[in-house]
Amino acid sequence: MSNASHSGQKMPVVFRESGLRYFFFSNEGSPREAPHVHVKGGGRDAKIWIEPEVSIADSYGFNSQELSAILRIVADHRDRILRAWHEHFGDGRPL
């Protein structure tokens, strides 16, 4: 996992695929929101819930075909994203 920065806020990048960056912000609210991942690339962005199921929370600029592909990718990498989430936030929850 690598880190990017946005306005001084760490953004741990879980992975990159098809020109898109899959990441989360180090400050995900207080209390912290449910596990999710942000997807960004080409001036477009989306927020995808990981739990309780993979679903779109919000999106800007992606068409329905791109969002379907993103949902498939997130579902394929769900365990990896959850592991990174819990390691980063120190939840210590087993998968």
Question: Which amino acid is present at 40?
Answer: K
Token pair belonging to 86: 């819990």
Burial (CB count <10 Å: 0-12, 13-18, 19+), residue 36: buried
Total domains in the chain come to 1
pLDDT tens-digit map of 4-50: 444 445 678 999 999 999 999 887 777 888 999 999 999 999 999 99
- Edge to edge, the sheet with strand 36-41 lists 2-6, 9-17, 20-23, 36-41, 44-49, 55-60
Domain with 85, as residue range(s), is: 2-89
Among residues 74, 65, 58, the alpha carbon closest in space to that of 21 is found at: 74
Q: What is the pLDDT of residue 55?
A: 98
Within a domain: residue 23? yes
pLDDT at 44: 98
Dihedral pair phi/psi, residue 82, rounded to 5°: -60, -40
Residue 94 within any structural domain of the chain: no
pTM of the model: 0.84
